[in-house]
A and B are shown apart, each in its own frame.
Chain A
């Protein structure tokens, strides 16, 4: 089955760090561009980061630039998001999403809550 499954969310204090993972299966992971998209409680969708299939090209939204780092391990079919200096406004469900010209495959998401 073609799917992506996120993990690693949880409760973290402001200023803390968290590392999210996304395990892909059912497709040739290295051939696809991958992204992280988040959704704050009761709010809409926000694209936050992109990586090319090789991992050499990376982009970030301004809201997370300098604090979050996207990476991938194609040998392990996995995507990661290292989140540092977390803020209350980073509280959201984080989705791993495969990109064609559109986001065609989404995981179920993992909840990150930033609170003291």
Chain B
């Protein structure tokens, strides 16, 4: 069971907007630790998608955006493309077990 909770799956049609939630506690996201997001395309390694709650690394399209509020964070993908089909993971830091970099369980995005 992951420390950060994500929905197992989301889906959307090409061109649509989807959101993926990441719910934590007062020991991690709610404690003020940053949330980061990773994209894992099938059969490949994870790739940094969003860092510091809202920032996109160079090369990541602005179709990807994220936010954080309280004990939760959210990743939004607009203008869905078939190539966006992947697993998405949120990640933060948990203060209960120092140190402890924690991940969400991952969300499988299916583009219908």
Complex Cα distance, B34 from A99, in Å, reads 14
Whether B104 and A103, one on each chain, are in contact in the complex, defined by CB atoms closer than 8 angstroms, is: no
Shortest C-beta distance, B44 to chain A (Å), equals: 8
Whether A47 and B48, one on each chain, are in contact in the complex, defined by CB atoms closer than 8 angstroms, is: no
Whether B34 and A44, one on each chain, are in contact in the complex, defined by CB atoms closer than 8 angstroms, is: no
A59 interface contact, C-beta 8 A: yes
Whether A106 and B47, one on each chain, are in contact in the complex, defined by CB atoms closer than 8 angstroms, is: yes
Whether A46 and B45, one on each chain, are in contact in the complex, defined by CB atoms closer than 8 angstroms, is: no
Chain A residues with Cβ below 8 Å from B2 are 44
Complex Cα distance, B52 from A102, in Å, reads 8
A interface, by DSSP: helix, strand, loop or mixed? strand
Complex Cα distance, B7 from A116, in Å, reads 35
Most chain B CB within a 10 A radius of its CB, from A45, A104, A108: A45
Complex Cα distance, B100 from A50, in Å, reads 10
Complex Cα distance, B2 from A93, in Å, reads 18
Shortest C-beta distance, B4 to chain A (Å), equals: 10
Shortest C-beta distance, A24 to chain B (Å), equals: 15
Whether B102 and A103, one on each chain, are in contact in the complex, defined by CB atoms closer than 8 angstroms, is: no
Whether A44 and B106, one on each chain, are in contact in the complex, defined by CB atoms closer than 8 angstroms, is: yes
Whether B103 and A46, one on each chain, are in contact in the complex, defined by CB atoms closer than 8 angstroms, is: yes
Shortest C-beta distance, B94 to chain A (Å), equals: 10
Shortest C-beta distance, A106 to chain B (Å), equals: 4
Known contacts A44-B89, A44-B105, A45-B46; decide if A102 and B36 are in contact (CB<8 Å): yes
Contact bitstring B39-53, A, C-beta under 8 A = 1, else 0: 000001111100110
Q: Which residues of A does B touch, CB under 8 Å?
A: 35, 44-47, 50, 59, 61-62, 95, 99-109
6 A-B contact pairs sorted by A residue (CB < 8 Å): A44-B103, A45-B89, A45-B91, A102-B34, A103-B38, A109-B45
